[in-house]
């Protein structure tokens, strides 16, 4: 994605005057199941609340996945389905969607249970007339986690760009960013950052940025990124309270960071505990 595309996407995702637009966007759910009629019933039960795509094969499921997808609901009885391939696909494409494995106690096999243990962010029971609300709520919880994670990823990406620009500006002006005012004093707070970007002043020494030969385009870009950071931070704080997770760290950090992914753990294949049905 080039810079112009990225700016357009940022502007669409994070409009200056309306951070609530992010929360208002409909979540996108992919429902993958072996049986078309059953899969369509599941999808139809979600359509008034979510945008929905359907897939009836592993290949179709993979073709349905992109950055816009928030939740993948997959029936492990999908033809030729392999949990490790789906996990690898999500990681290779760097997709931050959440995976719910559709479960049905009455028909589950040991193989299904192994897929569940290896893959799922949550287990989602198939809906019935009595549990339709619970089905939607389970999908909503997954979607909220996915959206939070995407926002945090975006927050990091923009922070990284911002940091690069700040360091570039420092090297241009010869300011190494050191605190020259004395020990124990704040070097630069977030409030300082916003004020500095708005006024073109360098908070470290108070000199006009223009007199320090700071590139104007870089300064404008820095201001734009600072605005995006502030909006994303506010949106993340708002979304925090809506998350339904035992631990926020489960949502934002890959559990196998630095370790083998869980599907390589043979112990996972032994997990057939029916108590695992709860998300």
Query: Quick check: 199 binds another protein (CB under 8 A)?
Result: no
Query: Quick check: 187 binds another protein (CB under 8 A)?
Result: yes
Q: Which of residues 61-80 bind another protein (CB under 8 A)?
A: none
Q: According to CB under 8 A, which one of 248, 264, 270, 277 is a site residue for another protein?
A: 248
Query: Quick check: 188 binds another protein (CB under 8 A)?
Result: yes
- 13 with 235: CB under 8 angstroms? no
Query: Which candidate, 149, 151, 153, 130, places its Cα nearest to that of 141?
Result: 149
Shortest Å distance, C-beta 251 to another protein: 8
Query: Quick check: 56 binds another protein (CB under 8 A)?
Result: no
Query: Quick check: 184 binds another protein (CB under 8 A)?
Result: yes
Q: According to CB under 8 A, which one of 163, 198, 220, 234 is a site residue for another protein?
A: 163
Query: Quick check: 111 binds another protein (CB under 8 A)?
Result: no
Query: Quick check: 166 binds another protein (CB under 8 A)?
Result: yes
Enter the tokens of residue 179: 């605190």
Q: According to CB under 8 A, which one of 37, 257, 266, 278 is a site residue for another protein?
A: 257
First-to-last C-alpha distance (Å) of the chain? 35
Query: Quick check: 247 binds another protein (CB under 8 A)?
Result: yes
Question: Across the strands, what pairs with 103?
Answer: 125
Shortest Å distance, C-beta 78 to another protein: 28
Distance between CA atoms of residues 82 and 185, nearest Å: 55
Residue 206: left if φ>0, alpha if ψ -120 to 50, beta else—which one?
left
Distance between CA atoms of residues 116 and 72, nearest Å: 13
Distance between CA atoms of residues 206 and 199, nearest Å: 10
Query: Quick check: 190 binds another protein (CB under 8 A)?
Result: yes
Question: Across the strands, what pairs with 51?
Answer: 28
Cα separations (Å) of 105 from 112, 119, 124?
10, 17, 11
Binding site for another protein (CB under 8 A): 152-153, 155-156, 159-160, 162-164, 166-167, 170, 176-179, 183-191, 193, 229, 236-237, 240, 246-250, 252-255, 257-259
């Amino acid at each position: 994605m080039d810079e112009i595309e990225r700016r357009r996407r940022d502007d669409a995702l994070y409009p200056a005057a309306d951070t609530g637009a992010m929360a208002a966007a409909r979540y996108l759910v992919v429902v993958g199941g072996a049986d078309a009629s059953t899969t369509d019933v599941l999808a139809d039960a979600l359509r008034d609340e979510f945008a929905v795509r359907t897939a009836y094969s592993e290949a179709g499921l993979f073709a349905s996945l992109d950055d816009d997808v928030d939740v993948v609901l997959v029936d492990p009885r999908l033809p030729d389905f392999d949990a490790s391939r789906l996990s690898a696909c999500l990681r290779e494409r760097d997709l931050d969607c959440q995976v719910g494995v559709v479960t049905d106690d009455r028909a589950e096999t040991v193989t299904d249970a192994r897929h569940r243990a290896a893959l799922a962010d949550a287990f989602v029971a198939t809906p019935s007339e009595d549990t339709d609300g619970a089905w939607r709520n389970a999908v909503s919880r997954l979607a909220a986690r996915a959206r939070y994670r995407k926002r945090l990823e975006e927050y990091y990406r923009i922070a990284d760009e911002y940091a690069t620009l700040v360091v570039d500006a420092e090297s241009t002006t010869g300011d190494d960013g050191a605190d020259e005012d004395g020990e124990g004093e704040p070097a630069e707070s977030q409030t300082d950052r916003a004020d500095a970007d708005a006024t073109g002043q360098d908070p470290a020494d108070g000199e006009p940025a223009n007199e320090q030969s700071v590139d104007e385009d870089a300064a404008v870009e820095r201001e734009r990124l600072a605005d995006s950071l502030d909006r994303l931070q506010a949106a993340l704080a708002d979304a925090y309270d809506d998350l339904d997770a035992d631990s926020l760290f489960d949502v934002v950090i890959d559990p196998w960071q630095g370790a083998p992914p869980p599907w390589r753990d043979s112990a996972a294949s032994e997990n057939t505990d029916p108590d695992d049905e709860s998300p």
